[in-house]
C-alpha cells in the first residue's frame, strides 16, 4: 500500500451489505482513506437487512459519491488509489464490469482500477451460480481481478455471525496487504 493508503469501496444491492459495512469499519480502524459508493439498492438493503443507518455508514467513510456521479475523482485513472473492493458485489455489477459496460460509478471505478493495474476485489454474494455468472467471474479472474466469494470458513470455529463475517473481511483485507487479526488463521491457536 502507498504512503497514504486509499481504497475505493463499492457496496451494491446484493444481499450481504453487512460485509461492506464491516469492511468500512475495519478500514477506518486501520486509518485507511475510504472512498465509498453505495448503489440505491445497497441503501435499500441496508434498511431491509440491518439495523444500521445509511447516513451513519456514509459518515464512517472519508468520501462518499453518488452512484450516478460519473465525474467523481474515482472515475479517473489519474486519481491514485491502492485499489477497490466491491462488497457485496451483485451479479449485475459483476456483469457490467466483465463486459465493460460502466453503467454507474461503481462499475466505472472498477474499470479504472483494472486499466490502471490496481487491485480489484469482488465479493459476490449469490447462490446458486449460473453458467453466465461463472463465465463472467472467469473472464475477470483471467485478467487478475480477485473473486472472493462470501463463503466463510469454519476452521477457526466461529461462535457468531460476526465471526463468519469477520473471516471474509479479514480475507478481503489480506488481498490489499493489510495485516489484520479479523479471524484465527489456520494453525494458529
**Predicted TM-score (pTM) of this structure:** 0.96
Going by pLDDT thresholds of 50, 70 and 90, the confidence category of residue 187 is confident
What is the structure's pLDDT at 3? Answer: 73
What is the structure's pLDDT at 155? Answer: 87
**Is 1 inside a domain boundary?**
no
What residue numbers does the annotated binding site for dimethylallyl phosphate cover? 155, 171
**Is 181 inside a domain boundary?**
no
Range of the domain at 171: 6-176
- The secondary structure element, H or E, covering residue 33 is strand 33-38
**Is 183 inside a domain boundary?**
no
User: Which SS3 state, helix, strand or coil, does residue 7 take?
Assistant: strand
The whole-number average pLDDT for the span 146-161 is: 93
What is the structure's pLDDT at 7? Answer: 98
Residue 159 scores a pLDDT above 80: yes
What is the structure's pLDDT at 189? Answer: 62
Q: Strand order in 33-38's β-sheet?
A: 63-66, 33-38, 6-11, 84-89, 120-124, 146-147
**Is 184 inside a domain boundary?**
no
CATH number at residue 46: 3.40.50.1950
In Å, what is the CA distance from 116 to each residue of 19, 76, 95? 26, 10, 20
Indicate the average pLDDT of the chain: 96
Residue 2 scores a pLDDT above 70: no
What residue numbers does the annotated binding site for FMN cover? 13-15, 39, 90-93, 125
**Is 182 inside a domain boundary?**
no
What is the structure's pLDDT at 148? Answer: 98
What is the structure's pLDDT at 23? Answer: 98
**Is 188 inside a domain boundary?**
no
The whole-number average pLDDT for the span 64-93 is: 98
Going by pLDDT thresholds of 50, 70 and 90, the confidence category of residue 184 is confident
Q: How many domains is the chain built from? A: 1
Dihedral sign for Cα atoms in the order 146, 150, 154, 157: positive
The whole-number average pLDDT for the span 115-129 is: 97
The DSSP string of 132-148 is: HHHHHHHHHHTTT-EE-
What residue numbers does the annotated binding site cover? 13-15, 39, 90-93, 125, 155, 171
Going by pLDDT thresholds of 50, 70 and 90, the confidence category of residue 97 is very high
Percent of the chain exceeding pLDDT 90 equals 91
pLDDT digits (tens, 9 = 90+) for 13-57: 999 999 999 999 999 999 999 999 999 999 999 999 999 999 999
Amino acid at each position: 500500500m502507498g504512503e497514504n493508503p486509499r481504497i475505493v469501496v463499492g457496496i451494491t444491492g446484493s444481499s450481504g451489505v453487512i460485509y461492506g459495512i464491516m469492511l468500512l469499519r475495519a478500514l477506518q480502524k486501520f486509518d485507511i482513506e475510504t472512498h465509498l459508493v453505495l448503489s440505491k439498492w445497497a441503501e435499500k438493503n441496508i434498511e431491509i437487512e440491518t439495523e444500521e443507518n445509511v447516513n451513519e455508514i456514509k459518515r464512517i467513510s472519508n468520501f462518499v459519491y453518488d452512484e450516478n456521479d460519473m465525474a467523481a475523482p474515482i472515475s479517473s485513472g489519474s486519481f491514485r488509489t491502492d485499489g477497490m473492493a466491491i462488497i457485496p458485489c451483485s451479479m449485475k455489477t459483476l456483469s457490467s464490469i466483465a463486459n465493460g459496460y460502466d453503467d454507474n460509478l461503481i462499475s466505472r471505478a472498477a474499470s479504472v482500477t483494472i486499466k490502471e493495474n490496481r487491485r480489484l476485489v469482488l465479493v459476490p454474494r449469490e447462490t446458486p451460480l449460473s453458467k453466465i455468472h461463472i463465465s463472467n467471474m472467469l473472464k475477470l479472474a483471467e485478467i487478475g481481478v480477485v473473486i472472493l466469494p462470501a463463503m466463510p470458513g469454519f476452521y477457526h470455529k466461529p461462535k457468531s455471525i460476526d465471526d463468519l463475517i469477520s473471516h471474509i473481511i479479514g480475507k478481503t483485507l489480506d488481498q490489499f496487504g493489510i495485516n489484520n487479526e479479523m479471524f484465527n488463521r489456520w494453525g494458529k491457536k
